[in-house]
Amino acid sequence: MHEQRVVVVTGGASGIGLGISRLFAASGHPVAILDMQREALARESGRLRDDGANILPLEVDVSDRAQIDAAYATVRDTFGPISIVIANAGISIPVPFETMTTEQWQRTIDINLNGVFHTIQAALPDMLEAKWGRIVTISSQAAQSGSQDRAHYAASKGGVIGLTRSLAREFGGRGVTVNTIPPSLVDTPMARAGEAAGQVPPLEVIAQHIPVPRPGTPDDIAYACAFLCSEKASYITGQEINVNGGSWM
């Protein structure tokens, strides 16, 4: 990536989103990080700035359209029109389907699916105006294989994959590509929290069953993301790019 592009990364204060933010920033792009964790946002943005990154941290709940619209107004005032959107923010709170409450179902859909809708739709006018845009959604292998005790999560991520493909069809002729990366097992605070709570076996144990026998890293996802957002990826759209060590083929 040679040209500077204004990048938005949701959920960029932790894990995969932080890795993606760091890589885009290291490539010289201004990066707006939208996240609801105030302290992590301040801490990680500070670290990135210490490394010379051009970062705009914004405290946002992606399920709230008004918050997204207000944040994007600040992004446009500070950096200019948005060219690249990485819709990454998400939650995963396991609960058996039989006892899942409507509120638990709804909150997961609100963040993981509706949040992606808001994140993308509010940025699209800039991309359509420029006749250039790149959108990457971070979905999950849970939508491909199903996932025990995470029916709400898998359903939300399946929705993200359908949304991604539909937008690829709708905007492919107008300079905007839309792809999804469905990770499998990535060593992040989310994954380690599940391990610590006994919801999943130790990541290293799970990893023994993956052809590349290690958990993925945020960088693994970020490198694929950077390529999908480059000039060289202009003919790739509507795709699920599996970055998962061969966990799902």
- Residues designated catalytic: 153
Contact with ligand NAD (CB under 6 A): which of 8, 13, 178, 224?
13
Q: Which helix (H) or strand (E) holds 39?
A: helix 38-50
| Nearest residue to 228 (alpha-carbon basis) of 135, 125, 160 | 135
What number of other Cβ atoms are within 10 A of residue 144's Cβ? 20
Establish if 54 lies at the interface with ligand NAD (CB under 6 A): no
Establish if 57 lies at the interface with ligand NAD (CB under 6 A): no
Report the nearest approach of ligand NAD to the CB of residue 3 (Å). Answer: 27
Tokens (6 digits) for 172: 């492919």
With beta carbons less than 8 A apart as the criterion, state whether 141 and 183 touch: yes
In angstroms, the Cα distances linking 13 to 10, 153, 160 are 8, 21, 21
Applying the rule CB under 6 A, the residues between 158 and 197 that interact with ligand NAD are 183, 185-186, 188-191
Measured distance CA(241)–CA(225) in Å, rounded: 9
Report the nearest approach of ligand NAD to the CB of residue 90 (Å). Answer: 2
Relative orientation angle of helices 189-196 and 15-26, to the nearest 10 degrees: 160
Establish if 236 lies at the interface with ligand NAD (CB under 6 A): no
Report the nearest approach of ligand NAD to the CB of residue 193 (Å). Answer: 7
Contact with ligand NAD (CB under 6 A): which of 138, 154, 161, 207?
138
In three-state secondary structure terms, 35 is strand
Count of positions on this chain that bind ligand NAD (CB under 6 A): 32
Stretch that binds ligand NAD, among 46-54, 76-84, 89-97, 124-132 (CB under 6 A): 89-97
Residues near ligand NAD (CB under 6 A): 10-11, 13-17, 34-37, 40, 60-63, 88-92, 111, 115, 138, 140, 183, 185-186, 188-191
